[in-house]
Amino acid sequence: MIPAVRILARPTVRPLVRAASVAALLALAAAPARSFCGFYVAKADTKLFNRASKVVLVRHDDKTVLTMASDFEGDPKEFAVVIPSPTFLEEDQIHVTEMKYLDHLDAYTAPRLVEYFDEDPCAIRRMEKRMPATAELSAAASAPARDEATGVTIEATYAVGEYDIVILSAEQSDGLERWLRDNGYRIPDGASRVLESYIKQNVRFFVAKVNLARHEASGAAYLRPIQIAFESPKFVLPIRLGTVNAKEPQELFVMALTRTGRIEPTNYRTVKLPTDAEIPPYVKEEFPAFYRAMFDRLVEREDMRAVFLEYAWDMNWCDPCAADPLTHDELRELGVFWLEGGEDGVVPAPGRPARMIAPQPAAEVFVTRLHLRYTGETFPEDLIFMETGDRTNFQGRFVLRHPYKGPISCPEAKSYVAGLPARQEREVQTLANLTGWDVNEIRRKAGLREGAPGPTPAVRGAAGDKWYHRLWNRDR
């Protein structure tokens, strides 16, 4: 952008070159995904939100792999999960995985903050940064038994990792609810009506409890994510059970890995996150608060009835990268079953330095990150998804532009310096619109943190100020 300004300023430049540079600038502006998208600074991952459920949903050809992470923080004795499952599950269809795979995908897809440092308008200079890398692995399994109980049929019991898992089918919701309570699964009151609608659809129940002995033996500090793989035409994420008796809105992140393109819910509206918003540089210190405030405002605007798209991207590359792309092994661990691995695929070399492109054979994987806040009232139905053919890349990206602070030594710089206050005011307004924060408070923080906005006192009070801002010796 600054080099283009330079070219246009030279008096001898030919009209064709000028037109070409303008065209190039427009092309860059039109396809920001393909250009350099700023230095990665920070991300808004799921840890920002309390009691957020994280789900990875892999889907292709009626086959689904669902990975569920709970952020359960209480006594493991109290933990119980009841999930309606469209099919019976064999033991091989159940797996316990490590949180780090979800964390990696979470980090990779999180909305990101990037910063640009304005170059000296009189010269060219470049800056580089690097992002570190990570990776690892693990697994476990065990043997079954069989039982019968009135009204409730125990179709299978498994011990997988630190969990005792039971696959149930039921004839009556009362019976099921009683059985669950008798066996130490605490389900909320009023769940029986929800269970009834599932029972009538011939759905099985996947029920998991923590086996305390195995949990202590494993030495894990947290409850690991559970995965189930099954085949069903239903592409549904059941959320109704979670909303029974929930007093507060729940937060849910769905990260979907598909082969063809982006997924979206068919029964709720999808709204894109505001992106490419330029905000004042001081937000770098307050990015988590900013993101939470912005999301709160979005949810309020949509009356808590929309699902928000935070990221939709081809998994082979990223720009900027909030984390390294996932390796084939990590993707397979998360359930991407159509990827080559082992003998047929190429095993990636460890310690890759790549920042933007994964140096392994192209994986046909597209990731969609959806974020929603819901209550039983605003989201009465389970989420029903569909896969579209849309492979357009989208990312939640927020931009900081640091003004150039060095000495100004050429006449072209005057227009740059004169334009700064207007730009900074626009950033302040953008932030106020996104978060609902008080505009004056923002201006105050932006002014204080930034110090003098330019090398010349003439910058203060330049175009963009209202006439009355210069009255009464206001401290700006």
Partner 1 sequence: MLSLAAVRRFVADPRHYQIGALAGLNLYAFAFLDFGARPAPLAAILVASLATQWAAGRIVGAGPFEPRSALISAFGLSMLLRTNSLALAAATAFVSVGSKFAIRVRGKHLFNPTNFGIVLMTSLFDGVWISPGQWGSAAFFGFLVVAAGGLVVTRAARSDITIAFLAFHAAILFGRSWWLNEPLAIPLHRIQNGAILIFAFHMISDPRTTPWSRSGRLLFALLVALGGGFVSFVLYRPNGVLYALVLVSLLTPLIDRLLPGPAHRWMPPPGEPPAPPESAPLERVPPGPSPGLAPVAARVPAVRIPGSGKVFAS
Binding site for partner 1 (CB under 8 A): 193, 196-197, 200-201, 232-235, 260-261, 264-272, 303, 305-306, 309, 377, 380-381, 384, 386, 388-392
Q: Give min distance, CB of 380 to partner 1, in A.
A: 4
Determine the Cα–Cα distance for residues 294 and 274; give it in Å rounded to an integer: 9
Nearest alpha carbon to residue 461 among 471, 446, 451:
471
Q: Give min distance, CB of 153 to partner 1, in A.
A: 20
Nearest 5°: phi and psi at 441? -60, -40
Token readout for 225 is 């994510």
Nearer to partner 1, 286 or 390 (CB): 390
Determine the Cα–Cα distance for residues 258 and 315; give it in Å rounded to an integer: 10
Q: Are 389 and 272 in contact (CB under 8 A)?
A: no
Q: Give min distance, CB of 240 to partner 1, in A.
A: 9
Q: Give min distance, CB of 383 to partner 1, in A.
A: 10
Nearer to partner 1, 233 or 451 (CB): 233
| β-strand partners of 395 | 311
Q: Are 406 and 448 in contact (CB under 8 A)?
A: no
Nearer to partner 1, 206 or 268 (CB): 268
Nearer to partner 1, 194 or 399 (CB): 194
Q: Give min distance, CB of 321 to partner 1, in A.
A: 24
Q: Give min distance, CB of 389 to partner 1, in A.
A: 4
Q: Are 246 and 283 in contact (CB under 8 A)?
A: no
Q: Are 294 and 376 in contact (CB under 8 A)?
A: no
Nearer to partner 1, 103 or 364 (CB): 364
Nearer to partner 1, 91 or 390 (CB): 390
Determine the Cα–Cα distance for residues 239 and 36; give it in Å rounded to an integer: 39
Spacing of C-alpha 133 from chain mean position: 19
Q: Give min distance, CB of 205 to partner 1, in A.
A: 16
Nearer to partner 1, 166 or 370 (CB): 370
Nearer to partner 1, 103 or 302 (CB): 302
Determine the Cα–Cα distance for residues 333 and 7; give it in Å rounded to an integer: 50
Q: Are 254 and 66 in contact (CB under 8 A)?
A: no
Q: Give min distance, CB of 234 to partner 1, in A.
A: 5
| β-strand partners of 405 | none
Q: Give min distance, CB of 171 to partner 1, in A.
A: 14
Determine the Cα–Cα distance for residues 236 and 93; give it in Å rounded to an integer: 18
For 318, other C-beta atoms within 10 Å of its C-beta total 26
Q: Are 160 and 143 in contact (CB under 8 A)?
A: no
Nearer to partner 1, 114 or 309 (CB): 309
Place of tokens 């009355």: 468
Nearer to partner 1, 272 or 402 (CB): 272
Token readout for 135 is 């990776």
Dihedral sign from CA coordinates of 185, 87, 192, 236: positive
Which DSSP letter does residue 114 get? E
Q: Give min distance, CB of 317 to partner 1, in A.
A: 18
